[in-house]
Amino acid sequence: MKRSYRIVAVAACALTTAMVSAQQNISIGGSIGLYMPTNAGVRAALGNSSPRLGFGPVDTDQRQNGLRPSFGVINVAKNGNRLLAIPITYGYERKFGSGVVAPYGRVFGGLSYLDYRLNINGANFAGRKFVPVFGGVLGVTLSSYARVYARYTVMSSTSGVNFSGLELVASFSLFKL
């Protein structure tokens, strides 16, 4: 039963991103980074920082400014605690420079699917739901195939737990759609 929820959530995210990407320059690629939750209880359960690996759509659009979709996966498990977060967002990106290597910023909003089971100070929290998210990104395009960025995502609290956090990520393109 748990697996079917995850499959449905991933399929919905992939479908949404694919539909939006029809109008964007999207590649399929990967990402590696760290997720650092800001909530003390979540940090106690999952650690101060957790590896973040991803595979899927990667935005490689080199236009100066524009609206962009974003799709990510945070999948963390530690000592019987777990979190799967799949944020699907849309936001405005501004590139600060005219070259391929240039800094950029983005503000975004959307929804995130959460599937979690945590024990925080002896209290158990579990659930599967969609929550609103918003945040910002500061990064640098390194080429038409790679980016590094810091992303802060604010997630609505659910069951008294807040999964907001900072992500430090390097993403890369393997092939264009």
Q: Average pLDDT in the 65-70 region?
A: 81
Gap between the Cα atoms of 147 and 112, Å rounded: 22
Residues 107-117 pLDDT 10s? 999 999 999 99
- The percentage of the chain sitting over the pLDDT mark of 70, rounded to a whole number, equals 81
Work out the pLDDT band at 70, boundaries 50, 70, 90.
confident
Q: Average pLDDT in the 144-171 region?
A: 91
Query: Which two structure tokens, joined as six digits, stand for 59?
Result: 């935005």
Work out the pLDDT band at 159, boundaries 50, 70, 90.
confident
Check pLDDT > 90 for residue 83. yes
3-state SS track over the chain: CHHHHHHHHHHHHHHHHHHHHCCCCEEEEEEEEEEEECCHHHHHHHCCCEEEEEEEEEECCCCCEEEEEEECCEEEEECCEEEEEEEEEEEEEEECCCCCCEEEEEEEEEEEEEEEEEEECCEEEEEEEEEEEEEEEEEEEEECCEEEEEEEEEECCECCECCCEEEEEEEEEEEEC
Q: Average pLDDT in the 62-76 region?
A: 79
Nearest to 65 by CA among 88, 97, 35, 113: 97
> Domain limits of the chain?
2-176
Give every CB contact of residue 82 below 8 A, 6+ residues apart in sequence: 76, 115, 116, 117, 118
CATH class name, domain 2-176 = mainly beta
7-11, 122-126, 157-161: range with lowest mean pLDDT: 7-11
